[in-house]
Structure 1
Amino acid sequence: MLRAKMISEMKAVSQWDICIIGGGATGLGIAIDAASRGYKTILVEQYDFAKGTSSRSTKLVHGGVRYLQQGNVKLVLEALKERGLLHKNAPHLVKDQSFLIPNYKWWEGPFYGLGLKIYDWMAGKLGLGPSVILSREEALQHAPTLDQEGLRGGVLYHDGQFDDARLAINMAQTAVEQNAVLINYMKAGQLIKKDGKIEGIRITDQLNGDEYTLMAGTVINATGVFTDILRKSDDASKSAVLSLSQGTHLVVDKHFLPGDTAILIPETSDGRVLFAVPWHNKLIIGTTDIPVPSPSAEPIPKEEEINFILDNIGNYLEHEPKLSDVRSVFSGLRPLVKGDAENTAALSRDHYIELSESGLISITGGKWTTYRKMAEDALKVAIEAKMIPDRPCKTEFLPIHGALPKVDYSDPAYYYGTDLEKIRAIENDQPLMAEKIHENLPYTKAQIAWAAQEEMCMTVEDALSRRTRALLLDAQAAIEAAPLVASILAAEYGYSNAWIEDQIHQFNQTATHYLPNPIPTNSN
């Protein structure tokens, strides 16, 4: 998957069936669905694939226990089905994760136990494992560092855990294998209209300033938190459909919750659930929910969010994590639909699709777990509007790039699936490439080179935030690894020392916000 090759293929096509704007989970899912049906498909993304919300989740592929508690049975059924399908289609990325709900009150065991039995029943044959009510001793076997004072027992259940950005990259590769064209750092600009109907868009290459025109019979707005900006570009009279919220996560060392079991706190001081989930040999704790007035590409965690997470998780762990224990802190924005837009077809309570008078299809809301169903629903709208011919959906059983039936999860690079053998071949042929990029990170030089050669990695941030997850696992280590990573990418692309220096500077500016105690970056 090479960007130059994608641009060359783009130039060779004069008319597209479908043009997708936005390279997050939703847009990538639509690209796979559309291309696999045989539609001539192109996707453009103004930043990197999954730069925004789609790389900043709690890393769960789940039915949504809290939605069941709210009585949203339809959504839970849909999400549980999609969880099961994704577990089958991307087994190298989606794995079974056991969760413990600790019980400190007499009624919590039977209450959550019954609810989770219903959750199991709803999952049916696509379930990942049965829930179990545990005694106090059994709960401590699964989570020995739980606060023991007043602990009565727990309920153990199963959900899915994954690497969101890695899934996004593999989805991009899957779409390309289905003959789609995908280009990151390509910004959509002016919509092209004739007689009030959209015929295409103008786009600008963010890396060199080149401008192009894409003509397309169907244009789909899958820009996540930026959805309203494109909707209003289409029709200035449109009212906003999104209300944005920010969710922040902290990453700490695994010793705060050793073992493989995650914990779920069903109700925090603000009424949300709180997760502590093992991930890449670290522990992710989150999340928060605070309103934000406008979208941004790089949301910044607030001190109150960090304190909220530390205070709440500290009530349940024997050893309370302190600010000094935090290796990284990251925030993502959620596109929450706040009400029906004009002419909106709400295909589920979780995601909304709008077909405007000009023919722009906007899809927003939703969550990672249901991306495949969202894509299918978006194309259903285009088919029903006779914008594209009716062809059956093929994604229900379509494997994602890298799918491997038997995965060794003990290998720190398991998530590469079938590609891991090729990366190891690079390391075997060039022993220096087997060296780590930093002593505190699990990634090798070969993985950076592979990202440039096969995964459309264009910047140091792409490499350290999404092709590897270094920035999310240990922000300080990522900052220290940036010069080496920049030099590897420069060697792959033939870039100058000036490019290397500029990339290090840009990365440090971004990475500073992932540190719990921000430090000034070198401006030279």
Structure 2
Amino acid sequence: MYDVIIIGGGATGSGIALDASLRGLKVLLVEAHDFAEGTSSRSTKLAHGGVRYLEAAVKHLDKSQYALVKEGLLERFKILKNAPHLSGKLSLITPLYQYFEIPYIYSGLILYDLLSGRYSIGKSKFLPPQKTIKEAPSVKKANLKGSVKYYDGRFNDARMVIALLKSAQKLGAKLKNHTEFKEFIFENGKITGIKAYDKIKKETLTFKAKCVINATGPFSDFIRKKADPDIEEIMRPSRGIHIVIEKKYLPTNNGLLIPKTDDGRVVFILPYKDKCLVGTTDVEAKTEIHPKVTDEEIEYLLRQVNRYFDTDLKKENILSSFAGIRPLVNKNPNAPTAKLTREHIIEKLPCNLVTITGGKWTTYRRMAEETVDFIVKNFDFQKPLKKCLTNNYRVFGSENYEKTKKLIDFSNPLEKHLFSLYGDQCIEIINSIQKPDFISEKYFITKKELLYTLKNEWVKKPLDFIVRRTQIALIDRKEAKNMLQKTTEIMGEFLGWDENEIYEEYTEALEILNGDI
């Protein structure tokens, strides 16, 4: 018997698992696919308050947008403080081509700084044209009036989910990926548990709990309708895509923000794993685990980049692309999705199902805190519980960050790679490597790293490792395919697969890599 069952193993679900476990609750989390397989591994990798939300707040005197930005900036600070091995400060440059844009953009970013208050991570400043070109050499020089440089946070989204779940596991939480929720168990009209199907062991499981939380993001309505088929839908999902290109096309260590695009959104060009990550789009979409990357959206992003930079990027220059579904709450049915806010809601149905949905990655911790506060208030757990402890809680891998950092040889790309993903746990992998047996020499991925994730990080499918634990498929689809055969064979040996199982796992993974990951 659990106190809490969480359905959904993304940012929100993993945050709730940690918060609830820290307070002394007995927690089970089930995820139908791999942890962070959906939206939570497909973000822009920014921990930010939301520059475009601030513009909307000022333009329309929108208090909710203002509050969202302020909350995001506070939570940005906490991500950087509590997960230093997975996050850091990033400078971003916004090139400007009209004189009137300078005071408008500059004053907006100064306000962004002011809202950060004592949690500021850097002051915005104006750069004249020559300094702009020095910091962003590929920016279009014709009619360039200068730029504004500001600071935000960056982080590794998929690895952050694993760090949160490893932290929760240390506290006793039970965590099951590739375990699909099937139906609720009812007693006297109230939900008292769930039935789920373990897709690896091919068995149906039954779990009982005092409280069940739906933290499935874009899939929230699907779960809600399992509890009450007649309930009104609350989600309005939108799809955002990203493309990845070689850094040589946009050679800078700064991020770049394109402030004016065809649909009024901002587009970011960000350094990520020695590549450039470009995104994102915004179109209404159906909810699916592997959303499609369309040619139209790719052309849209290429058009924005080529408009602002001295490049002639074409589709063949793209190393990889991926799409995610935003869990937007449908508070304004007539507005385009680009205009919907990233607010979250918490709901309790008469049958006792609790749903948390909406929001964005940066505010995952706050969303989790509010959800656990909510269930503590609305359910009788009959035990003294601690208050929220996640404000200052160093996540798994960052607990001995400073000490471990002194032991790393950053001139060694293998050690640098392992530290960036595993933090203080990387020493275990480094010490196990006598002579590297590379799965990908290009990205310093070794057999020992794969074995570590198999033993410690719930890796059960080849793409769990290639797409999410290492993110190679997100930045270089060709190399991901090159890694697949050896990855599958090592996993087969470790997990006891026969030749048919190895072939089936390889074929299934290759089909996904050839399509939409």
TM-score (norm 2): 0.92
Cα distance in 2 between the residues matched to 1:79 and 1:327 = 31
Q: Which residue among 386, 391, 405 is the counterpart of 1:391?
A: 386
Distance 1:349 1:96, change over 3 A: closer
The offset of 1:514, in angstroms, is 4.9
Q: State the Cα distance separating 1:260 from its structure 2 match.
A: 1.1
For residues 279-298 of structure 1, the aligned pairs below 5 Å read 279-292=272-285, 294-298=286-290
Cα separation, 2, equivalents of 1:287 and 1:255: 20
Instruction: State the match for 1:371 in structure 2.
Output: 364
Q: Which amino acid aligns with 1:412?
A: H
- The 1-side partners of 2:393 and 2:267 are apart by 33
Alignment partner, residue 324 of structure 1: 316
Distance 1:513 1:137 in 2: 43
Deviations for 1:373-414, whole angstroms, at most 9, x for unmatched residues? 001111122122134365311111111100113757872332
- Measure the CA separation in 1 of the matches of 2:132 and 2:444: 31
Aligned-pair CA distance for 1:117: 1.1
User: What is aligned with 1:34?
Assistant: 20
Return the alpha-carbon distance in structure 2 between the equivalents of residues 258 and 127 of structure 1: 27
Structure 1 residues 250 and 273: CA distance shift in structure 2, 3 A:
same
CA contact (8 A) 1:328 1:514 kept: no
Aligned residue in 2 for 1:113: 106
Query: Aligned ranges for residues 258-407 of structure 1 at < 5 Å?
Result: 258-292=251-285, 294-339=286-331, 350-388=343-381, 391-403=386-398, 404-405=401-402, 407=405
Measured after TM superposition, the shift of residue 340 of structure 1 is 9.0
8 A contact 2:93–2:150 mirrored in 1: yes
Q: What displacement does 1:498 show?
A: 1.8
**For residues 474 and 394 of structure 1, do their structure 2 counterparts lie closer, same or farther at Cα, with a shift above 3 Å needed?**
same
- Residue aligning to 1:479: 481
The Cα shift of 1:295 comes to 1.4
Matched, 1:60 2:46: yes
Q: Deviations over 1:442-472 (max 9, x none)?
A: 4222221111111111111101000111101
Q: Is the 8 A contact 2:291 2:516 kept in 1?
A: no
User: What corresponds to 1:437 in structure 2?
Assistant: 439
Task: State the partner residue of 2:425.
Answer: 419
Letter in 2 for 1:481: M
Q: Secondary structure at the match of 1:161?
A: strand
Q: Give the aligned partner of residue 10 of structure 1.
A: none
Distance 2:244 2:25 in 1: 41
What amino acid is aligned across from residue 446 of structure 1 in structure 2? K
Structure 1 window deviating more from structure 2 (475-484 vs 26-35): it is: 475-484
Mapped partners of 1:349, 1:274: distance in 2 = 17
Residues 46-55 or 494-503, more deviating: 494-503
Equivalent residues of 1:31, 1:175 under 8 A apart:
yes
Opposite residue 275 of structure 2, the aligned amino acid is K
Q: 2:185 aligns with which of 187, 192, 217?
A: 192
- Deviation string 1:106-153 (CA, Å, 9 cap, x unpaired) is 022221111111111111222211111111111111111111111111
2:202 to 199, 203, 209: 209
Displacement of 1:207: 1.1
In 2 relative to 1, CA 435–149 (structure 1 residues): closer, same or farther, beyond 3 Å?
A: farther
| Alignment-mate amino acid for residue 22 of structure 2 | S
Take 1:257 and 1:282, find their aligned partners in 2: how far apart are those partners? 9
The change in CA–CA distance for 1:349 and 1:495 in structure 2 (over 3 A counts) is closer
Q: Number of aligned residue pairs: give it.
A: 490
Aligned match of 1:507: 509
> Which SS does the other structure have where 2:229 is aligned?
coil
State the superposition RMSD in angstroms.
1.7
Inter-partner Cα distance in structure 1 for 2:370 and 2:381: 14
Please give the residue correspondences for 1:13-24 in structure 2 after superposition, counting only pairs within 5 Å.
Answer: 15-24=1-10
SS, match of residue 308 in structure 1 = helix
Distance in 2 (CA, whole Å) between partners of 1:436 and 1:104 is 47
C-alpha distance in structure 1 between counterparts of 2:473 and 2:379, whole Å: 45
Q: Is the contact between residue 95 and residue 144 of structure 2 (CA under 8 Å) also seen in structure 1? A: yes
What's 1:448 paired with? 450
1:26-82 deviations in Å (ceiling 9; x for gaps): 000000000000001110001000000000001111111111111121011111111
Question: Alignment partner of 1:277: what SS?
Answer: strand
Query: How far apart in 2 are the matches of 1:446 and 1:497?
Result: 22
Q: Quote the Cα distance in structure 2 between the aligned partners of 1:510 and 1:448.
A: 20
1:120–1:127 contact (8 Å) kept in structure 2: yes
**Contact 1:225-1:335 within 8 A present in 2 as well:** yes
8 Å CA contact 1:131, 1:157 repeated in 2: yes
Q: Taking structure 1 as the reference length, what is the TM-score of the superposition? A: 0.91
Structure 1: any 5+ residue segments left out of the alignment?
1-14, 342-347, 516-524
Q: 2:342–2:358: 8 Å Cα contact kept in structure 1?
A: no
Task: Provide the rounded CA distance (Å) in 2 between the counterparts of 1:18 and 1:85.
Answer: 25
Q: Which residue in 1 is equivalent to 2:80?
A: 87
Q: Give yes or no for contact 1:234–1:358 (8 Å, CA) kept in 2.
A: yes
Gaps of 5+ in 2: 58-64, 334-340
Q: CA deviation at 1:197?
A: 0.8
1:74-104 alpha-carbon deviations (Å, 9 max, x no partner):
0111111111011000000111010000011
Whole-Å separation in 1 of the counterparts to 2:10 and 2:378: 25
Q: Is the 8 A contact 2:210 2:379 kept in 1?
A: no
Match of 1:230 among 207, 210, 223: 223
Aligned counterpart, 1:155 = 148
Structure 1 position 421, deviation (Å): 1.2
The reply on whether 1:137 has 2:139 as its aligned counterpart is no
Q: In the superposition, relative to structure 1, how do residues 253 and 502 fare at CA in structure 2: closer, same or farther (>3 Å)?
A: same
Contact between 2:290 and 2:516, CA under 8 Å: does it hold in 1? no
Partner in structure 2 of residue 77 of structure 1: 70
Correspondences of 1:156-175 after superposition (within 5 Å): 156-175=149-168
1:216-245 deviation per Cα after TM superposition (whole angstroms, max 9, x unaligned): 001000011111011011111111100111
Say which SS state the counterpart of residue 323 (structure 2) adopts. Answer: strand
Counterpart amino acid of residue 392 in structure 2: F
Q: CA deviation at 1:437?
A: 1.7
Residue in 2 that maps onto 1:240:
233
- Output the CA distance in 2 between the equivalents of 1:70 and 1:444: 46
Offset of residue 439 of structure 1 = 4.1
Cα displacement string for residues 5-32 of structure 1 (whole angstroms, at most 9, x for unaligned residues): xxxxxxxxxx110000000000000000
Deviates more, 1:33-42 or 1:320-329: 320-329
CA contact (8 A) 1:19 1:216 kept: yes
* Contact persistence 1:89–1:398 (CA under 8 A): yes
Alpha-carbon distance between aligned partners in 1 of 2:94 and 2:198, rounded to the nearest angstrom: 48
